[in-house]
């Protein structure tokens, strides 16, 4: 695979806001409202969507989780992408809030084989949202190059088959870490036990974060962290839109990485 000359534009889509979780949810004791992000890589060969948010019309999910969700098709259109032109969905994993609108797009779906196996477990996800039809399945087995400048890394911990997406050009690297970590503090600190598939996955989760940190990325995007242009106080009708692009080039002063060769905190956050 060739390296891209420049990092493509990457849009972050706020596809949902979760304002309540059931008592059995690991985040319940310390719950605070959180967003559900999807991502659009405007690749020269066609748009790539990473995660599709929460689906609609599931009574159990609507009862257990208080959420306000928007259409991924509408959000793609808002950032200039016709849903028919999307070349690939990459599911970081198959929990219901990351694959819920896969069916709204017609393109292939890239998912790790380990995740497909995990999703067959009872109570793992919403089955009808997580199903990957055979004719659309691009089943991966570990780290894989997807196209020029875009690859996935297997990053187990949150789930057995969680994967992160790495976008690279000659001089920049951006990582869509998805839910490899839930909060920014875990990038440099202790592994979040509440974010693990089980306590026995702690070491693998730590190894996954270490792998991503070793890339020394310029930017890291997470699935459930508020961004600087978002606020929990905004009304549901106002949040469903693409926020500032993550990879557009502008004339600007040299970054810390350009001056020193490294960046201490690449996380995209509020």
Using alpha carbons, list the distances in angstroms from residue 103 to 77, 119, 258.
Answer: 16, 17, 41
> In the prediction, which pLDDT does 235 show?
35
Structure confidence by residue, pLDDT tens digits, 35-94 = 999 999 999 999 999 999 999 999 999 999 999 999 999 999 999 999 999 999 999 999
Q: How far apart are CA 118 and CA 101, in angstroms?
A: 19
Structure confidence by residue, pLDDT tens digits, 134-186 = 999 999 999 999 999 999 999 999 999 999 999 999 999 999 999 999 999 99
The mean pLDDT value of the chain amounts to 88
**Dihedral sign from CA coordinates of 269, 23, 69, 196:** positive
Categorize the per-residue pLDDT at 246 as very low, low, confident or very high, splitting at 50, 70 and 90: low
Categorize the per-residue pLDDT at 267 as very low, low, confident or very high, splitting at 50, 70 and 90: confident
Q: Is 87 exposed, middle or buried (0-12, 13-18, 19+ CB in 10 A)?
A: middle
Please check the confidence at residue 127 and state whether its pLDDT lies above 60.
yes
What is the widest separation between alpha-carbon atoms in the chain? 53
> In the prediction, which pLDDT does 264 show?
65
Give CA 137 to chain center in angstroms.
Answer: 19
The answer to whether 179 and 165 have CB atoms below 8 angstroms apart is no
Please give the residue that has the higher pLDDT: either 251 or 93.
93
pLDDT > 90 in the chain, percent: 81
Categorize the per-residue pLDDT at 256 as very low, low, confident or very high, splitting at 50, 70 and 90: very low
Please check the confidence at residue 198 and state whether its pLDDT lies above 90.
yes
Q: Which of 131, 223, 134 is nearest to 175 (CA)?
A: 223
> In the prediction, which pLDDT does 228 show?
62
* CB atoms closer than 10 angstroms to residue 4: 18
Task: Look up the pTM and report it.
Answer: 0.88
Q: How does strand 34-43 pair with strand 10-20?
A: antiparallel
Categorize the per-residue pLDDT at 96 as very low, low, confident or very high, splitting at 50, 70 and 90: very high
* CB atoms closer than 10 angstroms to residue 163: 30
The answer to whether 157 and 205 have CB atoms below 8 angstroms apart is yes
> In the prediction, which pLDDT does 269 show?
64
Q: Which of 195, 175, 164 is nearest to 34 (CA)?
A: 195
> In the prediction, which pLDDT does 254 show?
38
> Tokens 């060969």 appear where?
45
Q: What is the dihedral of CA 22, 197, 39, 253, to 10 degrees?
A: 110
Please give the residue that has the higher pLDDT: either 188 or 250.
188
Q: How far apart are CA 244 and CA 84, in angstroms?
A: 23
Please check the confidence at residue 33 and state whether its pLDDT lies above 70.
yes
Residue 106 tokens read as 């017609």
Q: What is the DSSP letter of 209?
A: H
């Amino acid at each position: 695979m060739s390296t891209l000359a420049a990092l493509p534009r990457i849009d972050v889509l706020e596809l949902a806001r979760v304002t309540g979780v059931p008592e059995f949810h690991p985040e319940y004791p310390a719950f605070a409202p959180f967003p559900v992000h999807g991502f659009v890589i405007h690749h020269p060969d066609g748009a790539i969507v990473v995660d599709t948010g929460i689906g609609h019309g599931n009574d159990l999910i609507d009862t257990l989780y208080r959420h306000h969700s928007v259409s991924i098709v509408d959000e793609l259109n808002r950032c200039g992408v016709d849903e028919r032109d999307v070349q690939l969905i990459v599911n970081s994993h198959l929990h219901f809030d990351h694959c819920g609108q896969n069916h709204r797009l017609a393109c292939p779906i890239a998912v790790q084989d380990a995740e497909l196996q995990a999703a067959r477990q009872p109570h793992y996800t919403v089955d009808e949202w997580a199903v990957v039809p055979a004719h659309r399945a691009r089943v991966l087995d570990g780290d894989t190059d997807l196209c020029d400048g875009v690859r996935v890394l297997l990053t187990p911990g949150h789930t057995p088959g969680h994967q992160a997406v790495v976008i690279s050009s000659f001089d920049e690297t951006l990582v869509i870490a998805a839910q490899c970590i839930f909060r920014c503090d875990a990038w440099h600190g202790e592994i979040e036990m509440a974010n693990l598939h089980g306590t026995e996955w702690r070491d693998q989760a730590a190894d996954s974060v270490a792998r991503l940190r070793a890339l020394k990325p310029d930017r890291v995007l997470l699935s459930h962290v508020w961004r600087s242009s978002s606020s929990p106080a905004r009304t549901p009708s106002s949040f469903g839109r693409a926020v500032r692009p993550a990879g557009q080039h502008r004339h600007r002063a040299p970054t810390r990485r350009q001056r020193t060769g490294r960046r201490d905190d690449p996380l995209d956050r509020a």
